[in-house]
Amino acid sequence: MSEDKFDAIIVGAGIAGSVAAYVLAKAGANVVVIERGNFAGSKNMTGGRLYAHSLEKIMPGFAGKAPLERKVIKERVSFLTEDSGVTLDYTGFRAQMPHEESYTVLRSPFDRWLMEQAEAAGAQWIPGTRVDEVITEDGKVVGVQADGESLEANVVILADGVNSLLGEKLGMVKPIKANAAAVGVKELLELHKDKIQNRFNLKDHEGACWLFAGFPSNGKMGGGFLYTNQSSLSLGVVCGLQHIESSSKTVPQMMEDFKNHPLIRPLIEGAQLREYSAHVVPEAGINMLPELVRDGVIIIGDAAGLCLNLGYTIRGMDLAVTSGEAAALTVLHAKERNDFSKTGLSSYQTLLDESYLMKDLKQYQKLPLFLENPRIFNHYPKMAADFMADLFTVDGTPAKPLYQKVMSCCQKGGYLNLIKDAICGVRAI
Amino acid sequence: MNHTTHTPHTVNVDLKLNANKFNVDEDHPHIILKDHPDITEIKKLINACPAGLYKLKDDGSVSFEVAGCLECGTCRIVCGKTLLEKWEFPRGTFGVEYRNG
């Protein structure tokens, strides 16, 4: 073991890890971040939209300094069939408070910036190094091993991402099951900013978030997304992994077909593919939480499965910020009393319980099950499209009354199913 | 009523991966597929891998290419130890390097 013992070693420089490092370093703690990538953010991707509230609390005014893409002012949700789409569009110009804003974001520049803030606050930084083992002594975590070297700390904070191999090795994180996970793929498409602003009706620095249900995920749980960045578009598909073997399309094919959908193709015309990335999304929310704390160790961010799938949006990054902050405050608290045992670190759980994070996870705990219902991603997008086609088609045959059109579209999915799903849906949200 | 026929756009994932920066660790593959993988089980990997690295060849055997891996972990989640001899992260500095993310 080396001479220096850190207050905390943080594994992984994603959002959770860097925020934990920033808060710890700012309070004068001796903290080091170890990251396997060459720079912070080099292994990370998002859809991506960052809700500002949690970081705004820690770094007030961060949005004026951080490399964010565009401030979201436009929301769209579409139900897609193979050759049609029904879209809901909301544009909001009402003045918002900084903690109510959200931004489109690219993780490579953003995470790099965030780690720089932690470094400037005094955190030590070891990039390009993979942590191979968490070292335990008498059942207590005492450090990590990386590149054959050992580093010692009072607390190890695992921020090693959704595939937390270290958390699994410790037996704290249960292996993710296919029915509780989705895979997201994204194409980063470069397009001149004027074209983006014309095509999406935006001004400088204004952004749009657009989600698509139905066709993109081939009727499986999931959907498509499109976010406008400064001079690129983030276009992607999220697809549930349950029964993926029975899908008639591969995930890359879903992505390709989504790109070629008549609603999408004109929007990306002339855009150049600059990057193709993927990430697993833990979808089971509170039902999948690991053991968050043990003697000398805390798990945060994606590694702890902290993710909220609300169907119309997936939140992970704002939760990562909050868990990173809570872990840092917990270590500082434990340091004061020199107690780094599970009991000494128990305020982590308390801080999360008292925050929006656990409250939201509890609030939406029935939603993942609801979203497993194939009708949500299959029948209903088609129903909406059929109704619209019916409503707007004039072909010279005598018109049916509106209620008959509605009824005939509803009938296809079954009235009872529709009523049942509506009730379950309302209860889950 | 006219029915629009769609030309299927068969995906070429390799072309997409070409846009990425990779630093492949030639001597230490971080994922190793078992020797005689179960063909029905491998359908999961063929369908799910975002990088299309698991391919069914014409002779019915399965090919796997570790270069081009996006390190997402989908294969380890859908099949786990039934098909994979090993799944770990590439050594420090190696693997995909996102410039946008």
Using 50, 70 and 90 to split pLDDT, how confident is the model at B5? very low
Using 50, 70 and 90 to split pLDDT, how confident is the model at A203? very high
Which has the minimum average pLDDT: A59-73, A90-104, B15-29? A90-104
- How distant is the alpha carbon of residue A421 from its chain centre? 26
Interface contact A107-B101, CB threshold 8 A:
yes
A146-170: pLDDT as tens digits? 999 999 999 999 999 999 999 999 9
Picking from B2, B6, B11 by the largest number of A CB atoms within 10 A of its own CB, the best residue to mutate is B11
Mean pLDDT of A325-336: 98
Among the partner-chain residues B47, B52, B91, the one whose CB lies closest to the CB of A245 is: B47
Within a domain: residue B99? no
Cβ-based contacts of A233 with chain B (< 8 Å): none
Write down the pLDDT at residue B4: 46
Q: Which runs of E-coded beta strand occur in B1-101?
A: 21-23, 31-33, 54-56, 62-64, 84-87, 95-97
Mean pLDDT of A289-304: 97
For chain A, the residue count is 429
Interface contact A108-B51, CB threshold 8 A:
no
B22-44: pLDDT as tens digits? 999 999 999 999 988 888 889 99
With CA atoms as reference, the chain B residue closest to A35 would be: B92
- CA-based nearest residue to A43, from B75, B76, B69, B45: B69
User: Which CATH superfamily is A5-68+106-174+290-354 part of?
Assistant: FAD/NAD(P)-binding domain (3.50.50.60)
Write down the pLDDT at residue A340: 98
Within a domain: residue B36? yes
Picking from A11, A15, A42 by the largest number of B CB atoms within 10 A of its own CB, the best residue to mutate is A42
Among the partner-chain residues B48, B52, B80, the one whose CB lies closest to the CB of A244 is: B48
Interface contact A185-B77, CB threshold 8 A:
no
Among the partner-chain residues A127, A130, A256, the one whose CB lies closest to the CB of B11 is: A256
Among the partner-chain residues A37, A106, A255, the one whose CB lies closest to the CB of B97 is: A37
Interface contact A275-B20, CB threshold 8 A:
yes
Mean pLDDT of A385-411: 82
Which residues constitute the domain of residue B37?
A: 22-89
Contacts of A240 (CB under 8 A, 6+ apart): A179, A181, A182, A217, A220, A221, A222, A283, A372
Interface contact A183-B50, CB threshold 8 A:
yes
Mean pLDDT of A224-253: 95
pLDDT at B59 over 70: yes
Cβ-based contacts of B43 with chain A (< 8 Å): 245
Interface contact A253-B10, CB threshold 8 A:
yes
- How distant is the alpha carbon of residue A115 from its chain centre? 19
Interface contact B92-A129, CB threshold 8 A:
yes
- CA-based nearest residue to A303, from A136, A134, A138: A134
With CA atoms as reference, the chain B residue closest to A163 would be: B73
Write down the pLDDT at residue B3: 45
Percent over 70 (pLDDT), chain A: 98
Taking CB atoms and an 8 Å cut-off, how many pairs form between chains A and B? 156
A207-223: pLDDT as tens digits? 999 999 999 998 888 89
Interface contact A280-B71, CB threshold 8 A:
no
The CATH number that applies at residue B31 is 3.30.70
Within a domain: residue B54? yes
Write down the pLDDT at residue B60: 82
The distance of B47 to chain A (nearest Cα, Å) reads 4
Write down the pLDDT at residue B81: 82
Write down the pLDDT at residue A310: 79
What CATH number does the domain located at A179-282 have? 3.30.9.90
For chain B, the residue count is 101
H helical segments located in A9-128: 15-26, 53-58, 107-120
Q: DSSP secondary structure string, A382-417?
A: HHHHHHHHHHH---SSPPPPHHHHHHHHHHHH-HHH
Write down the pLDDT at residue A429: 65
With CA atoms as reference, the chain B residue closest to A14 would be: B101
A255-288: pLDDT as tens digits? 999 999 999 999 999 999 999 999 999 887 787 7
Average pLDDT over chain A reads 92
- CA-based nearest residue to A237, from A260, A259, A262: A259
Write down the pLDDT at residue B71: 98
Cβ-based contacts of A255 with chain B (< 8 Å): 11, 50
Percent over 90 (pLDDT), chain A: 76
The distance of A41 to chain B (nearest Cα, Å) reads 7
pLDDT at B7 over 60: no
Interface contact B47-A187, CB threshold 8 A:
no
Within a domain: residue B96? no
Distance between CA A279 and CA B33 in Å, rounded?
20
The total domain count for chain B is: 1
Among the partner-chain residues B41, B44, B101, the one whose CB lies closest to the CB of A45 is: B101
Within a domain: residue B94? no
Write down the pLDDT at residue A3: 55
Interface contact B19-A181, CB threshold 8 A:
no
Mean pLDDT of B53-76: 93
Write down the pLDDT at residue B2: 42
Cβ-based contacts of B41 with chain A (< 8 Å): 245
Using 50, 70 and 90 to split pLDDT, how confident is the model at A421? confident
Cβ-based contacts of A83 with chain B (< 8 Å): 4, 6
Helix axis angle, A317-337 to A347-354, nearest 10°: 140
